[in-house]
Amino acid sequence: MKSRDTYFRLGHMIISSISFGFRLFRNDSDGKNEGLAVFVPEDLMATRKENLEISSVEALRLEISLPKSRGFLGGTLYRPDCSAKYYDEDFMAKLNIMLDTTVTEGKELILFVDYVNIT
């Protein structure tokens, strides 16, 4: 039987959630930032697409398959604030490479980002 309370440590942040009914996808930090986590309901068919991620960008891409549908790609990413120690001047170029790679998949992409740090 699954525990209703599950704790995950990602960098310095502890995520506490009621995980019953959800699957966790995570991209742990390389020591620079906190890492990313996405909880997906168990009734959705989701697959991590690491081939659409760049190791130097904190990103997490998933392919979501829906019944009687083409499905879509979903993702999230993190960009440190420009005042942060690990700010990446080449982030936008890397993001463009990731988006170009996504186009080859021929699927729609829903990207969840922190608008303040992307612009």
**pLDDT tens-digit series, residues 8-33:** 444 444 455 455 788 888 887 666 65
Superfamily covering domain 5-118: Endonuclease/exonuclease/phosphatase (3.60.10.10)
> What is the pLDDT at residue 1?
38
Does 6 have pLDDT greater than 60?
A: no
Cβ atoms of 110 and 66 within 8 Å: the answer is no
Structure-token pair, residue 36: 């990313």
Please give the DSSP secondary-structure letter assigned to residue 103.
Answer: H
The whole-model pTM stands at 0.70
Q: Which of 45, 80, 39, 84 is nearest to 60 (CA)?
A: 39
> What is the pLDDT at residue 12?
40
Cβ atoms of 21 and 42 within 8 Å: the answer is yes
Q: How would residue 4 be classed by pLDDT, with cut points 50, 70 and 90?
A: very low
The vertex-22 CA angle with 57 and 45, nearest 5°, equals: 75
